[in-house]
């Protein structure tokens, strides 16, 4: 798959897809999207980069091991549930803060934090699988 066209397009495609995955993730609360599907888009972005340029550049670019990212996601998701401990409501209750930045109301919530956790779990685990499969092909 190392044609010159693919190799030149892949980095741009990857960065666009990662950006789009973030958009899908953040849109997910009230519209189609969310952490799971966003994570899948990001994981396919890394997979494409891996197919085009080899696995080690992807690993270098991600810096953290994909499984560590997945672990961090699980941790974040669990912490999003635990936040409700301090407010006296049951586990996993959605809590909202709406601070204003320069006249724009920003709705931040624990479901969003949870969704970010899901996103990271999906990115980490699927990328880890995809990279392992691609590596096997190189041998």
Partner 1 sequence: MAGAASPHADLASAMVLQPVAAADWLVVAPVVIPIVFGAALLMFRKETQQHMVVSIIAFALLLLADAALLWRVIEHGPIVMTMGRWLPPFGITFQADVLGAGLATVAGLVAFAAVLFSFRDIDTTGRRYGFYTFFLLMMAGVHGAFLTGDIFNLYVWFEVLLISSFGLLVLGSEHEQIDGAVKYAFLNLVATTLFLIAVGLLYGAFGTLNMADLAGKIAAAKGQAPVMTLATLFLFAFAMKAAAFPVNFWLPASYHTPRIIVSALFAGLLTKVGIYALLRVLVMLFPVERDMLAIVIAWVAAFTMVLGILGALAQSDIRRAVGFVVVSGIGVMLAGLALGSELGLTAAILYALHSMIAMTAVYMLVGLMAEAGGSVSLHSLAGLYRAHPFMAALALVLFFAVAGLPPFSGVWPKVFVVKASLDVGAWWLAFAVLLTGLLTTITLGRVFALAFWRNHAEEPATMVPGDPITWKTYAPVVLLTAAVVFIGFYPQPVLDVAHAAARTILFSSGYVNAVLPAGGGA
Determine the interface stretch with partner 1 among 16-24, 31-39, 44-52, 82-90 (rule: CB under 8 A): 82-90
Instruction: Report 96-125 residues binding partner 1 (CB under 8 A).
Output: 96, 98, 107, 109, 111
Q: Is 1 a residue that touches partner 1 (CB under 8 A)?
A: no
Radius of gyration of the chain from Cα atoms? 17
Determine the interface stretch with partner 1 among 6-14, 17-25, 32-40, 72-80 (rule: CB under 8 A): 72-80
Q: How many CB atoms lie within 10 A of CB 139?
A: 4
Phi, psi of 104 (to 5 degrees): -110, 125
Q: Is 9 a residue that touches partner 1 (CB under 8 A)?
A: no
Q: Are strands 96-97 and 108-109 parallel, antiparallel or unpaired?
A: antiparallel
90: helix, coil or strand? coil
Contact yes or no for 95/19 (Cβ under 8 A): no
Phi, psi of 109 (to 5 degrees): -150, 165
**Which of 9, 82, 129, 133 touches partner 1 by CB under 8 A?**
82
**Which of 9, 19, 61, 67 touches partner 1 by CB under 8 A?**
67
Nearest residue (CB) to partner 1, 31 versus 138 = 31
∠ Cα 50 56 61 (to 5°) = 80
Determine the interface stretch with partner 1 among 3-11, 20-28, 45-53, 79-87 (rule: CB under 8 A): 79-87
Give the binding site for partner 1 (CB under 8 A). 29-30, 65, 67-68, 70-75, 78-79, 81-82, 85, 88-94, 96, 98, 107, 109, 111
């Amino acid at each position: 798959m190392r044609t010159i066209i693919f190799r030149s397009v892949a980095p741009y495609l990857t960065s666009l897809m990662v950006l789009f995955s973030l958009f899908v993730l953040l849109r997910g609360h009230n519209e189609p999207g969310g952490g799971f599907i966003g994570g899948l888009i990001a994981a396919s972005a890394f997979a494409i980069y891996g197919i085009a340029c080899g696995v080690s550049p992807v690993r270098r670019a991600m810096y953290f091991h994909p499984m560590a990212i997945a672990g961090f996601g699980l941790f974040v998701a669990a912490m999003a549930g635990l936040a409700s401990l301090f407010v006296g409501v049951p586990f996993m209750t959605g809590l909202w803060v709406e601070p204003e930045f320069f006249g724009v109301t920003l709705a931040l919530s624990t479901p969003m934090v949870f969704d970010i956790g899901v996103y990271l779990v999906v990115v980490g685990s699927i990328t880890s699988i995809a990279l392992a499969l691609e590596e096997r092909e190189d041998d």
